[in-house]
A and B are shown apart, each in its own frame.
Chain A
Amino acid sequence: MERKKGFWHFFTSGYLILVLLFIYLPIVYVVVFSFNESRSMTAFSGFSLKWYESMFNNREMLDSLKYTVLIALIATVTSTVIGTVAAIGLSKARRLIRSVILEINNLPVLNPDIVTAISLMLLFLSLKIRRGIVTLTLAHITFCIPYVILSVLPKLRQLDDNVAEAAMDLGAPPWRALTRVIIPQIYPAIFSGALIAFSMSFDDFVISFFTAGMDVQNISMYVYSMKRFNPSVNALSTLIVVVVTLILILANVVPAIRDRKRKKEEF
């Protein structure tokens, strides 16, 4: 029986390790091959930084990176503000109104991306708005807001209404009740909503592809439209992997440290 158990343990951990290897294979691959000396995508022939150099000399690639980050930042800030404010309003709305609005809110989440994409493209085309960075940003804000709402609203509904009412009964204007009582309590939900919005915008391909027009492209569109295999994409991916890992570590570690400090202070 003991031996059987040992084998089972060996088998399950082996399986999980294989799954992790599968999940991390492309990431390890791009990091390794970003330092490859040759163009080859199959054989590693020696260490070199030339693909990083060629990335920094590639205007088109750098521009797409710049637009991706810029649009993700604008979309995150705008959608977080509109979404949070709207969620606070919705949490006080009548049930029927709230559920109708939430149904509409969920459309871009449930619809296939391509349907959202062409619906927005139809809107811009028929209003004769030239597609470019403005329409691209508007589209990104549009598909980011629902995620902010879905993240913030459940948290708001757990809040005790009486606290905000008490603040106002004690003479706080609604604005102060909002900023001093409500917002601090839902801050973690706002933050995670913003994080989701950022990653949705950063990763988007389909909606961008249909709403950007010819003038701008983000990273996804750049990679999609590339005709020849270009190893400097590996360098770009490595850079993104490093930045994403740092951001995620910060997002996870900073609150943990803060919690630990607070707990220590309580003692």
Chain B
Amino acid sequence: MKSFFRMSYPYILWISVFIVAPMVMILLYAVTKTGNGTLTFQFTLEHFARFFSDPDFLRVLWTSLRIALITTVFCILVGYPAALFIANLKERAQTLMILLLTLPMWINMLLKTYAWRGILMNFDLESEVKVFIGMVYDFLPYMVIQIHTAISKLDRELLTASYDLGANRWQSFLRVTLPLSVPGIISGITLVFLPAVSSFVIPKMLGGGNYVLIGNLIEKYFLVAGDWNFGSAISLIMALIIIASMYLTKKLDRSAEEA
């Protein structure tokens, strides 16, 4: 059976060239002095210093985090009741609802955002509100599915026990369902917040050019300014923020499970 391992050689070669090598390049460009598109191998941290000492860049970072955070909060606020109500349906209706929620996920995101641009022309809204509608629209199904999975795994006997002990519907929800569905909320946050930080298409298409997000900044430094080193440093900063928040949510998840 050991000989079967040889079957993964082409794949290992592929990921070495197309995943490992490119990531190493970002790393190298981020920590070396700017040269005209070539690696200088003169190591420096000046790109990171430049990013963190410029209020404009920090403002961009803050905007990205803020938009991602508000999007996540709205996804939880809208998605939690939806997931809860779906979990209370009959089994067949649950399957149907989840199917109906996932179907539009198969349709191209840019086309859906384009459609929102048309729909939102009918309303006189602030561009920020438009961006949030588009963002919540794109991420809501992920949140609902994660929370629904957690709630439907919940042991029904616990609720029965809670009713038997005299708790009403609302108390049982607060003391039993809500705490036990926290892992679902947390995995929902991972699926919404993390991609939302780097998203720049929806804000650009619905926000009417009012937003410079960290994604736009990276785009600008690579495609317009041609400063690959600084662009690499920005993307490394973003990747690190995402890794850090992933680590934090995992920790939260663990402490939630222990509690």
Task: Enumerate chain A interface residues (CB-CB to B < 8 A).
Answer: 12-13, 15-16, 19-20, 22-27, 29-30, 33, 41-42, 82-83, 85-93, 97, 101, 104-105, 107-108, 110-116, 118-123, 125-126, 138-139, 141-142, 145, 149, 161, 164-165, 174, 199, 202-203, 205-206, 210, 219-220, 223-224, 229, 233-234, 236-237, 240-241, 244-245, 248
Contacts and interface: CB of A to CB of B under 8 A. Distances in A.
Contact of B108 (A13, A16, A121, A202): A202
B104 A118 contact: no
B110 A205 contact: yes
B53 interface: no
Nearest to A124: B22
B14 interface: yes
Interface stretch (B40-48, B157-165, B171-179, B197-205): B197-205
How many B residues are at the interface, by size bracket? Answer: 35 or more
Minimum-distance CB pairs A-B, first 8: A89-B8, A86-B11, A112-B198, A119-B22, A89-B7, A26-B115, A41-B118, A12-B85
Interface string B182-220: 000000000000110110110001000000000100110
A107 B23 contact: yes
Contacts of A139: 18
A241 B1 CA distance: 45
Contacts of B235: 112, 114-115, 118
A16 B82 contact: yes
B137 to A, nearest CB: 7
Contacts of B29: 122
A125 B5 contact: no
Contacts of B119: 25-26, 29
B25 A123 contact: yes
Secondary structure dominating the interface of B? helix
Contacts of A110: 194, 242, 246
Nearest to B78: A19
Contacts of B218: 114, 118
A interface, by DSSP: helix, strand, loop or mixed? Answer: helix
B51 interface: no
B194 to A, nearest CB: 7
A30 B111 contact: yes
Contacts, number: 214
Contacts of A33: 118
Nearest to A165: B1
A27 B107 contact: yes
Interface stretch (B55-63, B95-103, B251-259): B95-103
16 contacts: A20-B101, A82-B10, A82-B14, A83-B11, A89-B5, A104-B20, A110-B194, A112-B195, A119-B25, A126-B37, A126-B39, A145-B15, A149-B11, A205-B110, A237-B107, A237-B114
A220 B228 contact: no
Contacts of A91: 4
A112 B3 contact: no
Given A20-B101, A118-B235, A234-B118, 6 more contacts: A27-B104, A29-B119, A88-B8, A111-B242, A113-B198, A121-B222
Given A203-B108, A237-B114, A237-B115, A16 B10 contact: no
B25 A122 contact: yes
A252 to B, nearest CB: 8
A138 B18 contact: yes
A205 B23 contact: no
